[in-house]
Amino acid sequence: MSEDFIERFHFVLEQSYSLFSRVEQNMLTRSKRFNLSITELHLIEVINRDPIRGRVMGDIANELMITPSSVTIAVNKLVKKGYAVKKKGLEDGRLVYVQLTDSGRHADRIHKRFHKSLAKSITSGMTQQEKGILLNCMDRMNTFLSARLKKMEGLKS
């Protein structure tokens, strides 16, 4: 691989990450409906992956790769803001489930709609072949990053 390609790819990757984060933050800032940070919005997204039962605090921590105490603090903020509720498990009272309120589900719908709109805008004008190549590249990148993360986490143990 040429060094020029690596330099360019590195630049584009960093720029994409930065721009995506800024666009997402800007969308949230402009929306007067929610008093949420991007981190809280992503937490809402994770909680809503099981909207009926809710998510166990430990599972949320594992998925977000943060400590259980950090999840507790973040969830308590969402509860205080009215976006989530905590409930003890019926079978096992030691488990704490987190569910979204109507406001939390609404925030998640808006966030998902924003992501879909962004994806649609980015890919509009691309041929089916280009879209396939983009998906293939993103899948390969995610596979690589997942494997790298598993390897790094294995070293921690």
> What tens digit of pLDDT does each residue of 64-92 get?
988 999 999 999 999 999 999 999 888 88
Strand ranges for the chain from DSSP E = 55-56, 84-88, 96-100
CB 89 within 8 A of CB 97: yes
Q: Which residues of 124-138 are buried (b: 16+ CB within 10 A; e: fewer)?
A: eeeeeeeeeeeeeee
Position 12 scores a pLDDT of 94
Cα torsion angle, 49, 55, 57, 63, sign: negative
Structure tokens at 63: 């998925």
Residue 65 gets the label, from left (phi > 0), alpha (psi -120 to 50) or beta, of left
Most confident of 1-10, 40-49, 56-65: 40-49
Give the number of other Cβ atoms within 10 Å of residue 94's Cβ: 6
Residue 107: which of 59, 56, 58, 38 has the closest Cα? 38
CB 100 within 8 A of CB 48: yes
Q: How confident is the model at residue 31 (pLDDT cuts 50, 70, 90)?
A: confident
